[in-house]
Structure 1
Amino acid sequence: MQAVRVAQLLTVGEFSRLTHLTVKALRHYHEAGVLEPASVDPSTGYRYYTAEQVDLAQLVRRLREVRMPVAGVRQVVSTADPLARESMIAAHLDVLRQELTATAAAVGSLRALLAGGATDELTFRQAGEQQCLMIDGHVDQDSLTAWCAMAYPLLYAVAGRWGLAPSGPSGALYAFEWFQVGGQVTAFLPVAAPGAGQRGWRADGGQVRWGALPAQRLAVAVHAGPCGDLDRTYGALGRQVLGRGIGAPGPVRELYLVTSADTDDPDQLRTEVCWPVTGPPS
């Protein structure tokens, strides 16, 4: 009779040497249901593994090295379908790449802040009234990017549908209070169309409305680069406005001169920050 081959059991120490996972890590992964021993001695509690578990342990180690949460690792290793497993790993790597991109941008922003440099000269503008398509939303800072990704394509789509040619760059209005607690933001797109008879006009289920930016005197600074650095331009502009005692009630306007729709290079982005002021500059 041919003997049945029994898989050789490895002690925790032996398995640790083969996988470079510490005894503490192996205990943690056992308790978390990520990497369970092949056998546990009921009298001593000693854990034993098999050589066939080495590849799985090495996968667990690498997934944790790329900061996959333990719950995600457990889902990956418990999935028998190789394609589904690869899809879950790829999704995590995509998130990781986005985080790395954001970290690189933050590092660049910090270096630029530490390097200092000259602040763009403050200019003043008497803006005339502008007819616009507008979208209002109650938005906080965390959800602003997603809201803008919805609002601006919709504004341009409605303008195209109604034959309204843009007459200037798109922008947004932010009440001073928004920077403290969030609140209403108004995205706008100036259009070349008469305002007569348009009062109360709305489109797309009421999301898009007709409105006008009032004539207003503005202090203006141009921000070059990603929006994550806008606070520097706000700080430089606001200090000058408040220091001269010429600040007027909000909202602040932002005008998007060069957007991500125009360039893939974040350093080429251009945003005008327009602070309302009263009277001539001192």
Structure 2
Amino acid sequence: MSGDLLRPGEFLRRTRLSAKALRLYAEQGLLVPDAVDPWTGHRGYAAGQVDRARLIAALRRAGMPLARVRDVVDLEPAARRAAVARWWDGVEEDLRRRRTWVSALTVGPDDDEEGDVHEVYLREVAEQPVLTAERRLTVDELEGFISGAGEEIDAHLARSGAVPAGPLRVVYHGMVTEDGDGPVEVVRPFTGRVEPAGDLRIRLQPAGREAVTCLSRGEAEFPGILRAYDAVGAWVDARGLERAGSPAEVYLSARDVAPDEPHVEVAWPVA
């Protein structure tokens, strides 16, 4: 092994890594020895690996997961700076969501905000065919799936000469969280003739009744929409009705409408 290589002890002193971190980064393929003596097993590190080790350590101190570090560490400086910025934007968005969750969890029974009063009513739902896309996913994938599935459904209807016959619904057949994966079904009623394609399926939405409340775009911001689910559920229970299916969000407008404009309905099928 070349005498120009750094032994592990010297490499640790120069990088200020711990032996445990060095082993971990080697196991992950992020920082492997430049050479290993086949007879003694002694490891050697090139002087150029010191900067790489310091970069990995800095990214880890910032909280970047090892899998993400692997994608970032070998990029050119400009591309790496952009990748780190994108990752940090995601971290801040995650912190915003968590802060909102904590705020909702720490609100007491006497702290209800003025805007939390929801008018709930019953409406009849006619039988109609719907084109749907369904997937099991976690919360990080949810927004992208809803928008992508909605576009795919509408594009397939247009190609088929069929016409959307109502607003887009997102049906939650199970909880979607960091641990729960739904499934979630994106649904569009239509008129005309359509054939299934790819992951798109056709089913008949049965006639029935549903309990509904309507939220403005501002009211629908998280966690306000969760309180709307609670309000609909409490209204159903108070009237002795039976929940007969999965709840849905019915989107009446795009997300860029004014905060006081009607945006989404929370609807729960009842019997």
* TM tier relative to shorter chain: 0.5 to 0.7
**Structure 1 residue 273 corresponds to structure 2 residue 266:** yes
Match of 1:135 in 2: 131
Structure 1: segments with no counterpart, 5+ residues: 1-5
Cα distance between partner residues in 2 of 1:21 and 1:181: 38
Tell me how far 1:68 sits from its aligned partner: 3.9
Cα distance between partner residues in 2 of 1:53 and 1:174: 49
Letter matched to residue 94 of structure 2: A
Cα distance between partner residues in 1 of 2:48 and 2:184: 59
Residue 222 (structure 1) aligned to one of 196, 202, 215: 215
Task: Note if contact 2:8-2:44 (Cα within 8 Å) is conserved in structure 1.
Answer: yes
Distance verdict in 2 for CA 1:46–1:168, change over 3 Å: closer
Task: Note if contact 1:136-1:184 (Cα within 8 Å) is conserved in structure 2.
Answer: no
Distance verdict in 2 for CA 1:245–1:64, change over 3 Å: same
Match of 2:18 in 1: 22
Report the secondary structure of 2:267's partner residue: strand
RMSD: 4.6
Cα distance between partner residues in 2 of 1:269 and 1:174: 21
Match of 2:120 in 1: 123
Provide the aligned length of Structure 1 versus Structure 2. 253
Task: Note if contact 2:12-2:18 (Cα within 8 Å) is conserved in structure 1.
Answer: yes
Cα distance between partner residues in 2 of 1:232 and 1:14: 58
Distance verdict in 2 for CA 1:60–1:158, change over 3 Å: closer
Letter matched to residue 241 of structure 2: I
Report the secondary structure of 2:252's partner residue: strand
Task: Note if contact 2:6-2:44 (Cα within 8 Å) is conserved in structure 1.
Answer: yes
Tell me how far 1:168 sits from its aligned partner: 5.0
Tell me how far 1:187 sits from its aligned partner: 0.4
Match of 1:234 in 2: 229
1:138-153 maps to which residues of 2 (within 5 A)?
138-142=134-138, 145=143, 147-153=145-151
Letter matched to residue 194 of structure 2: R
| Structure-2-length-normalised TM-score | 0.65
Report the secondary structure of 1:240's partner residue: helix
Cα distance between partner residues in 1 of 2:168 and 2:242: 24
Distance verdict in 2 for CA 1:167–1:37, change over 3 Å: closer
Task: Note if contact 2:120-2:232 (Cα within 8 Å) is conserved in structure 1.
Answer: no
Q: Cα deviation per residue 1:127-156 (whole Å; 9 max; x = unaligned)? A: 46486x622344335375554333311333
Tell me how far 1:19 sits from its aligned partner: 1.9
Q: Answer with 1 or 2: which has the greater Rg.
A: 1
Report the secondary structure of 2:241's partner residue: coil
Cα distance between partner residues in 2 of 1:184 and 1:104: 24
**Structure 1 residue 254 corresponds to structure 2 residue 252:** no
1:105-124 maps to which residues of 2 (within 5 A)?
105-115=97-107, 116-118=111-113, 119-124=116-121
Report the secondary structure of 1:271's partner residue: strand
Distance verdict in 2 for CA 1:267–1:144, change over 3 Å: farther
Cα distance between partner residues in 2 of 1:230 and 1:25: 43
Report the secondary structure of 1:225's partner residue: coil
Match of 2:167 in 1: 169
Residue 238 (structure 2) aligned to one of 243, 246, 250: 243
Q: Cα deviation per residue 1:3-23 (whole Å; 9 max; x = unaligned)? A: xxx976656554434322124
Match of 2:56 in 1: 60
Q: Cα deviation per residue 1:204-241 (whole Å; 9 max; x = unaligned)? A: 64846586673635342537234676433212321231
Distance verdict in 2 for CA 1:26–1:211, change over 3 Å: closer
Cα distance between partner residues in 1 of 2:15 and 2:259: 43
Task: Note if contact 2:118-2:231 (Cα within 8 Å) is conserved in structure 1.
Answer: no
